[in-house]
Amino acid sequence: MEDSVDSLAPWFYEFDLGPLGRTASALPVDVQPIHRTRLQMVEVALERIFTDDELRSSACLDVGCHEGYYAVELAKRGVHRVVGVDVREESVKKARFVARTLGLENAEFRLGNAERISRELLGTYDLTLFLGILYHLENPMLCLRNVSDVTGRACIVETQVIDEVAGETEWGWQNWKYPYCGALALIDETLEFDSGNRQTGATPLATCPTPKALVTMLNHAGFPRVEFIPAPPGAYEQHARGKRVVCVAFKDSR
């Protein structure tokens, strides 16, 4: 059977597919604004990285692209080449359907796991997107190093964060102390994972950083400069309260 909006349902994102109408997001109505806020903050981030001409001539990799919502938006803006990778085949199938329906020849989508992407497999990209995925990962530092490996200029990261943690710990001896550089919370998503919830990570163990931990991890992954994007007026409630953040991680220190 040929793919259609109905045959591919349920949808996570709301896409305007022209003559085919709009997909209906399965998210609760109160949660759906998260996508628009995230996109607004990504657009502000893009202005900090590229001129319009630079953006149109660039290549972008969307890691954990899901149904391709943000990759499609960049392709619609005329980015020269957009590649989305996601660990779930059904998500890649939906993303390809959307790109095909909209006639976006500059967008392509592949199966891929953030734990296994590399320059050898995918090449390098001026821009990488890492949106809504970090806090679902069992091995976030490995994945950030992988993302850094394929990033030429900057990476835009959006993630849930936990409340900041400060202090110091003994380190090998009671008189040797180190300060915390933030912290990671372990989140067990087993119930959602085992029930077939397709919004979890590839494994049921998730790790969620504090803002300081996020910056420290990005620095050690090869991004020496990190800038946070302020939430816009009318932002989704979590972004407005600082429980979700968007930042630009640059490969240079200037």
pLDDT in tens, 13-24: 999 999 899 999
Q: What does the alpha-carbon distance between residue 75 and residue 186 come to, in Å, rounded to a whole number? A: 35
pLDDT for residue 32 is more than 60: yes
> Which structure tokens are listed for 207?
């790790």
DSSP codes of every residue in 158-194? EEE-PPP---EEE-SSTT-EEE----EEEEE-HHHHH
**What is the per-residue pLDDT for 1?**
43
Sequence-distant (6+) residues with CB within 8 A of 91 are: 65, 66, 67, 68, 198
Separation of first and last alpha carbons in the chain? 53
Angstrom distance (rounded) from CA 41 to CA 44: 5
What pLDDT shows up at residue 3? 84
pLDDT at 246 over 80: yes
Rounding to the nearest 10 degrees, give the CA dihedral for residues 217, 193, 67, 223: 0
* Structural tokens at position 65: 């692209």
Q: How do residues 214-244 score in pLDDT, each as one tens digit?
A: 999 999 999 999 999 999 999 999 999 999 9
> Are the CB atoms for 127 and 61 separated by under 8 Å?
yes
Model pLDDT, residue 254: 78
- The mean per-residue pLDDT over the stretch 45-60 comes to 97
Phi, psi of 108 (to 5 degrees): -135, 155
Q: How far apart are CA 179 and CA 171, in angstroms?
A: 10
Query: Between β-strands 125-131 and 151-160, what pairing exists: parallel, antiparallel or unpaired?
Result: parallel
pLDDT score of 243: 98
pLDDT at 240: 98
Give the pLDDT mean for 3-28: 94
Q: Does the pLDDT at position 171 exceed 90?
A: yes
Averaged pLDDT, 127-152: 96
> Is pLDDT of 177 > 90?
yes
Among the listed residues 165, 181, 168, 166, the one whose alpha carbon sits nearest the alpha carbon of residue 218: 181
How many residues appear in the chain? 254
Q: Indicate whether 199 pLDDT > 80.
A: no
Q: pLDDT tens across 81-114, in order? A: 999 999 999 999 999 999 999 999 999 999 999 9
The CATH number of 31-250 is which of 3.30.950.10, 3.30.1330.10, 3.40.50.720, 3.40.50.150? 3.40.50.150
**Sequence spans of domains, the chain:** 31-250
Which residue, 249, 11, 252, is CA-closest to 130? Answer: 249
CA distances to 146, 198, 210, 243 from 166, in Å: 28, 34, 10, 17
- The tokens for 229 are 């994007």
SS3 state at 77:
coil
Confidence category of residue 198, pLDDT binned at 50, 70, 90: low
| Average pLDDT score, the chain | 95
- Predicted local confidence at residue 60, as pLDDT: 98
Instruction: Report residue 105 as tokens.
Output: 């020849």
Q: CA 51, CA 54: separation in Å to the nearest integer?
A: 5
Q: Give me the residue label for tokens 């085949």.
A: 89
Tokens 């305007």, residue located: 16
Sheet holding 107-111, edge to edge: 107-111, 81-86, 59-63, 125-131, 151-160, 244-250, 225-228
Does the pLDDT value for residue 156 go beyond 60?
Answer: yes
